[in-house]
Amino acid sequence: MNNISIKLAQIPDISKIALLFDAYRQFYEQASDIELATNFLRLRLKNNESVILMAENNNQQIVGFCQLYPSFCSVIAKPTYVLSDLFVDSEMRNLGIGRGLLEAAHQYAANNKVARLELTTAKDNVIAQALYEAMGWVRDEIFYTYHKTVRG
């Protein structure tokens, strides 16, 4: 991961992160929409609703990011972070950037006395699963995850 630094994103960084966030959304079969991506990220940071860690090269180009959402676990009665988004520019993969972002997220959580990180990934995303498991993440074999769209 030579020449890559990982930093906490600030509002002025959003326009650079939004391009990768839009690519991330397209990876999950959403239509490209830079304005939506920019506005969504701006509101998350402005309202202190998420933490974004960004991987930046020597040219100040964002080559990867992860986004953490604060949450809580009632069972352990402690705060947690949901690592909702992790994405590395397709041309920069296999250079350790994803691993670096995961390590930075872990350190950020530890520094903020967060008890646990949680994430979900697609069942067919075996490359990501291998990285997570190699880094000590444990796949849940007990619980299923459900979701329901809210209309109104």
Q: Where are the beta strands (DSSP E) in the chain?
A: 5-8, 51-56, 62-73, 78-88, 116-118
Distance from the Cα of residue 96 to its chain's centroid: 15
**What is the span of the domain harbouring residue 72?**
5-134
Using one digit for the tens of pLDDT, what is the confidence trace for 60-75? 999 999 999 999 999 9
Residue 23, domain member (yes or no): yes
Residue 73, domain member (yes or no): yes
Using one digit for the tens of pLDDT, what is the confidence trace for 40-64? 999 999 999 999 999 999 999 999 9
Residue 1's pLDDT is 64
Residue 99's pLDDT is 96
Residue 92, domain member (yes or no): yes
pTM for this predicted structure: 0.93
Residue 146, domain member (yes or no): no
Give Cα separations from 140 to 63, 74, 133, 135, 145 (angstroms): 30, 17, 11, 15, 10
Residue 139, domain member (yes or no): no
Residue 152's pLDDT is 84
3-state DSSP assignment of residue 55: strand
Residue 72's pLDDT is 97
Domain containing 28 — which CATH number? 3.40.630.30
Query: What single string gives the DSSP state of each residue in 79-95?
Result: EEEEEEEEEE-GGGTTS
Q: Which backbone phi and psi does 138 adopt, to 5 degrees?
A: -115, 125
Residue 66's pLDDT is 98
Residue 72, domain member (yes or no): yes
Contact 19, 62 (CB under 8 A): yes
Q: Report residues of the chain scoring pLDDT below 50.
A: none
Contact 97, 4 (CB under 8 A): yes
